[in-house]
Amino acid sequence: MLLAKVIGNVWSTKKLDNISALRLLFIQPLGKDLKPAGNVLVAADEVGAGFGEMVIVTQGAPAMQAFSKAELIPIDAVVVGIADNLEMAEDAAAKKK
Amino acid sequence: MLLAKVIGNVWSTKKLDNISALRLLFIQPLGKDLKPAGNVLVAADEVGAGFGEMVIVTQGAPAMQAFSKAELIPIDAVVVGIADNLEMAEDAAAKKK
Amino acid sequence: MLLAKVIGNVWSTKKLDNISALRLLFIQPLGKDLKPAGNVLVAADEVGAGFGEMVIVTQGAPAMQAFSKAELIPIDAVVVGIADNLEMAEDAAAKKK
Amino acid sequence: MLLAKVIGNVWSTKKLDNISALRLLFIQPLGKDLKPAGNVLVAADEVGAGFGEMVIVTQGAPAMQAFSKAELIPIDAVVVGIADNLEMAEDAAAKKK
Amino acid sequence: MLLAKVIGNVWSTKKLDNISALRLLFIQPLGKDLKPAGNVLVAADEVGAGFGEMVIVTQGAPAMQAFSKAELIPIDAVVVGIADNLEMAEDAAAKKK
């Protein structure tokens, strides 16, 4: 999954019926230092993520499993969780000293 | 999904039977500043997107779900919506002030 | 899908049984200006593409749908069409003037 | 699969129900020289990997097969093994001399 | 598929049960000039490829189809063939003269 930041909303009135109810977020992937890294993408929101929040984004075929299993929908990226905290190995090692 | 711009049509007379009825668009992905970012691709159109329009493109296995479920077809990118507007978190925060 | 050019044949005598009958092409993806862009790949040919021809290549899980549905095979890229012509939005707009 | 290093834990209290029990790791892919190469990602842990360990990460649709087959879950990266050792072809050739 | 070179073995004693019998190779993708291009990866071997051999690697969901169909396994890259020879379009054209 990607660690990413919610940077906006994407509004679309003309879209396929089976994705019309979804909220679409504009997402910026983050690097190791939590700064922007890599190109932006559009992801469906399934956890109620807000602007500026750090989130976990699932991509590709697994993204479809975040929705009803009755009918697969053409969504290739979805926010599956809000990242509260990152515990870096370096910091954990430093604390033990 | 990708945020992208429709930059052309791709014409193909000799193609597999199960994709022969599809309109194929030439697509330029966009970056955070809505300028070209990343390499072009070819995507099937399922929403009637026009030249120059900003669109949402689903890639990979989920793209197949934009078509009839009766038979999966070898299409790995499809325009699933037209992006009317982008609401950036920065702008929303500025408005509140 | 990728817009790409056929730049060679890849010969393999020792390969898995279920892909042994396929013709494998060496493929160079193209950018907006139709010049090489991105790394080369190997794709199965299902339309009889010739050396130097501009083609449309489907990748990932959808590529498997270009073959018999009876048994899925381990192929992640396939030529699904020959691109005869590209109509660029810019040119179309220029013509209208 | 990626060869990668576990560089941290990702904590998320608000996430989808079907992935709530998973331990999520912060992962740095490695290059040929075993130095960081490519952007970080978040992967579920299925082998009990510890901080700083070198691991093997499966991505995309195959990642879902690391979990119960009863219900597919929206996870696109999973640690499937701990890499104990790398035997490089160059070294093996040198030893034979 | 990728055209790639086998550059080593990856040893893992602690890995998921359903992939424990697989031989894992360290793989370097190649560019048009057959020199290293792109980041290394780990792929399962299904054709008995040796160190230094040029191989064809299938990635993503299709990689799972190289194994028994009875149970899908979490493998996203597999060597499906050994590349004996590359016939480049340029060379073929030169010969005809």
pLDDT digits (tens, 9 = 90+) for D40-62: 999 999 999 999 999 999 999 99
How far, in Å, CA of E46 to CA of E81, rounded? 8
Predicted confidence band at D69 (pLDDT cuts at 50, 70, 90)?
confident
**E44-57 burial string, b = 16+ CB within 10 Å, else e?**
bbbbebebebbbbb
Contact B46, B67 (CB under 8 A): yes
B11:C59 CB<8 A = no
pLDDT at B41: 98
Does the structure show a pLDDT above 70 at C59?
yes
pLDDT at D70: 79
Residue of B nearest to C91 (CA): B8
Contact A55, A27 (CB under 8 A): yes
Q: Find the chain D residues whose C-beta atoms sit closer than 8 A to any C-beta of A.
A: 6-16, 18-19, 24, 26, 28, 36, 39-43, 51-52, 60-61, 63-64, 71-77
Does the structure show a pLDDT above 80 at E48?
yes
Q: Count residue pairs from A and B with Cβ separation < 8 A.
A: 111
Does the structure show a pLDDT above 80 at B69?
no
The DSSP output letter for A20 is T
**C3: its two tokens:** 């817009």
Contact A34, A86 (CB under 8 A): yes
Residue of E nearest to D32 (CA): E40
pLDDT at D71: 87
**E36: its two tokens:** 């290293």
CATH 2.40.50.220 fits E2-96, yes or no: yes
How far, in Å, CA of E5 to CA of E56, rounded? 9
Does the structure show a pLDDT above 80 at D30?
yes
**Three-state helix/strand/coil letters over chain E:** CEEEEEEEEEECCCECHHHCCCCEEEEEEECCCCCECCCCEEEEECCCCCCCCEEEEEECHHHHHHCCCCCCCCCCEEEEEECCEEEEHHHHHHHHC
Does the structure show a pLDDT above 80 at C97?
no
Contact C70, C16 (CB under 8 A): no
Contact D26, D6 (CB under 8 A): yes
Q: Find the chain A residues whose C-beta atoms sit closer than 8 A to any C-beta of D.
A: 1-3, 29-32, 37-38, 46-48, 56, 58-66, 69, 78, 80-90, 92-93
Neighbour subunits, B (≥3 Cβ pairs < 8 A) = A, C
Q: pLDDT per residue over D78-91, tens digit each? A: 999 999 999 998 87
Amino acid in the structure at residue D50? G
For β-strands D41-45 and D77-82, DSSP reports them as parallel
Query: For chain D, how long is the longest CA-to-CA vector?
Result: 57
**C35: its two tokens:** 């010049």
Q: pLDDT per residue over B38-63, tens digit each? A: 999 999 999 999 999 999 999 999 99
Q: pLDDT per residue over C22-42, tens digit each? A: 999 999 999 999 999 999 999
Regarding predicted confidence, which is higher, A91 or A64?
A64
How far, in Å, CA of E4 to CA of E55, rounded? 5
Mean pLDDT (chain B, rounded):
94
Neighbour subunits, C (≥3 Cβ pairs < 8 A) = B, E
C74:E80 CB<8 A = yes
Residues of A in contact with D71 (CB under 8 A): 69
Does the structure show a pLDDT above 70 at E30?
yes
ipTM > 0.85?
yes
**Three-state helix/strand/coil letters over B30-76:** ECCCCCECCCCEEEEECCCCCCCCEEEEEECHHHHHHCCCCCCCCCC
Predicted confidence band at D35 (pLDDT cuts at 50, 70, 90)?
very high
Query: Could you tell me the CA-to-CA distances from C5 to B88, C2, C41, D7, E89 in Å, in that order?
Result: 38, 10, 11, 40, 10
Regarding predicted confidence, which is higher, C93 or C2?
C2
Phi, psi dihedrals of residue A56, rounded to the nearest 5°? -110, 125
Mutate to test the interface with E, among D27, D76, D79, D80 (most CBs of E within 10 A): D80
Contact E55, E82 (CB under 8 A): yes
Does the structure show a pLDDT above 80 at E87?
yes
